[in-house]
């Protein structure tokens, strides 16, 4: 009578196969390398969106500063790549050869101490995840232990995004300033700028994305996932059921930060540079919009939402550059007002119902529909 | 009856408890004691500080001064979740359940295992959990609604669900804030029956306005008025107390 949550539910598996067919077969076969690289860039935001599903959709913790973690992950990766690109041979025209070019322009004559360990790829890869997650742990502990939540938390994360941007821009000699860290060339001697490399990086990224999706599904299907939903509903009830609510919030926030950081590092690899324009307030809010459009309760919805909004952004801003921001704002308002569960909600309420009827030739008993996009408890209940 | 002179141990000892909100003393130098397996009912007019007393015991509100000893542990210095682990369970006045989860999941979250982050990640829904949840669901008349989303329950059923969530915790001290408020007559009867069953083997602190219900279950009644004890004792004694009649029962 009571269904035990299995490792992966049937609906999740079907959704995973559908996404895999799209990302691994259809898109690489139909798009040229330039367009595929655009998709790769969009997908890096999907990592952030998945994190936001856990943190915001399920846990109710709205972070408007995910760009911070995306950026920190991206910068950790960029620092390694920049050091590799700044070999003594490559930089012999500088007054101090062997350091990144922007340092040389800013009259810095020695590699700063915090840059030193980024000569090691292993260190850089660990730092990509550990630095942003540790920062999230610090911020989360400071906020949630003091019971700062809701709008106040959102505003503080927003401020963090602004602060980090200003810090990066201001400390030009150490960070590359407003231009960011550019002119990245090779990864352990492998040229990341070639078409072939971009294709391989795309598939590496898709593999990472699926790994993150599986982790997110496992978290959602565990009791911890249900506690996150419970916390969003009645925080006090959870607290007075013997849980330390702050710790669960910190976990959700850190998990979202870790996902975002992986996306950031992949962004650096795919696009070939990292700059403060991916850290600040605007990109952070855009990331929340991707999640909202996809459906903030649906892990797969977040991926599709990210892809669709970015496609729209690229095609619209190519033809009507001034209109795009208004379009994005209107989209967000429309989603919030009319479709609070986003694309995933529309899919479940309008498309899936007809599909199931078509396939099974009968009306399925309520509750027996295999969840296609998402059959999280929260989602099912929200449909009522 | 008593052998030797062992000092009597109370389950809960509230002494000199005071809380002031911007100078207004919602609870003023309050002291009372609850025995093991005692059913204590707190009554009093609106604004007497009844709910505040429960808030203070479960840690929701911080006391300005005074002490709350539970089995020798000082609760005023503990976090809410530590107080729960010590054995104090609290039901809120309005049903406080998780609308977006099923009845089963609501009950499961209160199951006293896997309460840390890593514990919750590793938590397995095994036979012990399932049996306990089903047993409690039967007690609270919701056995056939386990897979229902909690938001679809009636008001009375929601109240029962929250009582069930507390039962799964198996607290030594159960605090109920107006458990029959807003219930239909038949639901009230069923709730009284439910409470009679669950108050065995534990102490219960109840806030209630329904005097018939109070008379039915109370061992001892404490009457609060303006944050202080007006009268305390058996229902008969309290009912005939002229002070109580004047401020509360007379209306």
Domain residues of chain A, as ranges? Answer: 10-311, 341-384
Is B179 within 8 Å of B159 (Cβ atoms)?
yes
Distance, CA of A124 to CA of A77 (rounded, Å):
6
The least confident of A366-380, B38-52, B76-90 is A366-380
Q: Are strands B203-207 and B228-233 parallel, antiparallel or unpaired?
A: unpaired
* CB-CB under 8 Å, B123 with A241: no
Distance, CA of B114 to CA of A381 (rounded, Å):
24
> How high is the pLDDT of residue A360?
72
| CB < 8 Å from B in window 255-294 of A | none
The shortest C-alpha distance from B173 to chain A (Å) reads: 13
* CB-CB under 8 Å, A237 with B101: no
The least confident of A88-92, A196-200, B5-9, B184-188 is B5-9
pLDDT, tens digit (0-9, with 9 covering 90-100), for B160-182: 999 999 999 999 999 999 888 88
- Nearest to A287, CA basis, from A330, A332, A338: A332
pLDDT, tens digit (0-9, with 9 covering 90-100), for A66-124: 999 999 999 999 999 999 999 999 999 999 899 999 999 999 999 999 999 999 999 99
| CB < 8 Å from B in window 205-234 of A | 219, 222-224, 226-227, 229-230, 232-234
* B58: chain A residues, CB-CB within 8 Å: 240
pLDDT, tens digit (0-9, with 9 covering 90-100), for A308-358: 999 988 888 888 888 888 888 888 898 888 888 899 988 888 888 888 778
* A54: chain B residues, CB-CB within 8 Å: none
Q: Helix/strand/coil (H, E, C) string of chain B?
A: CCCCCCCCCCCEEEEEEEEEECCEEEEEEEEEEECCCCEEEEECCCCCCHHHHHHHHHCCCCCCEEEEEECCEEHHHCCHHHHHHHCEEEECCCCCCCCCCEHHHHHHHHCCCCCCHHHHHHCCCCHHHHHHHHHHHHHCCCHHHCCCEHHHCCHHHHHHHHHHHHHHHCCCEEEEECCCCCCCHHHHHHHHHHHHHHCCCCEEEEECCCHHHHHHHCCEEEEEECCEEEEEECHHHHHCCHHHHHHHHCC
* CB-CB under 8 Å, A248 with B117: yes
The shortest C-alpha distance from A136 to chain B (Å) reads: 16
- Cα B230–Cα B235–Cα B237 angle in degrees, nearest 5: 65
* CB-CB under 8 Å, A240 with B58: yes
* CB-CB under 8 Å, B117 with A224: yes
* A367: chain B residues, CB-CB within 8 Å: 147
């Amino acid at each position: 009578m009571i269904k035990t949550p299995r490792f992966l539910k049937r609906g999740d598996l079907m959704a995973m196969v559908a996404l895999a067919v799209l990302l691994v077969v259809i898109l690489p076969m139909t798009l040229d390398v330039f367009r595929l690289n655009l998709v790769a860039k969009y997908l890096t935001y999907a990592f952030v969106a998945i994190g936001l599903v856990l943190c915001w959709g399920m846990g109710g913790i709205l972070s408007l500063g995910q760009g911070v973690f995306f950026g920190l992950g991206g910068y950790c990766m960029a620092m390694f790549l920049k050091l590799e690109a700044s070999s003594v041979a490559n930089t012999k025209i500088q007054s101090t050869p062997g350091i990144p070019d922007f340092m040389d322009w800013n009259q810095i004559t020695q590699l700063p101490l915090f840059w030193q360990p980024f000569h090691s790829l292993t260190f850089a890869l660990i730092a990509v995840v550990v630095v942003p997650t540790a920062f999230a742990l610090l911020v989360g502990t400071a906020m949630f232990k003091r019971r700062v939540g809701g709008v106040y938390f959102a505003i503080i994360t927003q401020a963090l995004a602004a602060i980090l941007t200003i810090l990066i821009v201001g400390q030009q000699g150490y960070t590359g300033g407003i231009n960011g860290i550019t002119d990245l060339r090779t990864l352990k001697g492998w040229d990341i700028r070639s078409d072939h490399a971009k294709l391989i990086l795309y598939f590496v990224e898709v593999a990472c994305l699926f790994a993150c999706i599986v982790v997110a599904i496992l978290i959602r299907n565990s009791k911890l996932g249900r506690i996150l939903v419970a916390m969003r509903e009645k925080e006090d009830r959870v607290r007075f059921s013997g849980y330390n609510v702050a710790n669960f919030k910190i976990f959700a926030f850190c998990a979202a930060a870790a996902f975002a950081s992986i996306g950031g590092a992949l962004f650096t690899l795919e696009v070939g540079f990292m700059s403060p324009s991916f850290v600040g307030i605007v990109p952070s809010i855009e990331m929340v919009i991707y999640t909202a459009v996809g459906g903030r309760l649906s892990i797969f919805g977040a991926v599709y939402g990210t892809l669709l909004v970015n496609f729209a952004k690229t095609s619209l801003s190519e033809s009507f550059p001034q209109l795009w921001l208004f379009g994005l704002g209107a989209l967000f308002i429309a989603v919030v007002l009319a479709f609070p569960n986003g694309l995933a909600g529309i899919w479940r309420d309008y498309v899936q119902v007809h599909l199931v009827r078509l396939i099974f030739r009968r009306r399925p008993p309520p509750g027996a529909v295999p969840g296609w996009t998402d059959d999280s408890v929260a989602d099912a209940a929200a449909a009522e | 009856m008593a052998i030797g002179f062992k000092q009597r141990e109370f389950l809960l000892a509230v002494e000199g408890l005071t809380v002031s909100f911007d100078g207004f003393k919602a609870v003023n130098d309050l002291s009372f004691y609850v025995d093991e397996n005692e059913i204590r009912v707190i009554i009093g007019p609106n604004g007497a500080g009844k709910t505040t007393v429960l808030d203070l015991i479960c840690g929701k509100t911080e006391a300005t001064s005074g002490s709350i000893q539970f089995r020798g542990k000082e609760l005023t210095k503990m976090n809410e979740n530590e107080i729960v682990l010590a054995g104090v369970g609290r039901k809120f006045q309005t049903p406080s359940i998780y609308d977006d989860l099923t009845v089963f999941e609501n009950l499961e979250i209160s199951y006293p295992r896997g309460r840390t982050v890593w514990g919750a990640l590793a938590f397995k829904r095994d036979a012990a959990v399932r049996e306990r949840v089903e047993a409690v669901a039967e007690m609270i008349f919701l056995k056939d609604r386990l897979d229902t989303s909690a938001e679809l329950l009636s008001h009375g059923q929601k109240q029962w669900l929250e009582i069930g969530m507390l039962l799964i915790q198996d607290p030594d001290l159960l605090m109920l804030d107006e458990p029959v408020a807003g219930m239909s007559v038949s639901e009230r009867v069923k709730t009284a029956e439910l409470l009679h069953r669950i108050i065995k083997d534990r102490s219960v602190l109840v806030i209630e306005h329904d005097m018939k219900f109070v008379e039915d279950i109370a061992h001892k009644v404490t009457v609060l008025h303006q944050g202080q004890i007006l009268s305390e004792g058996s229902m008969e004694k309290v009912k005939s107390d002229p002070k109580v009649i004047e401020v509360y029962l007379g209306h």
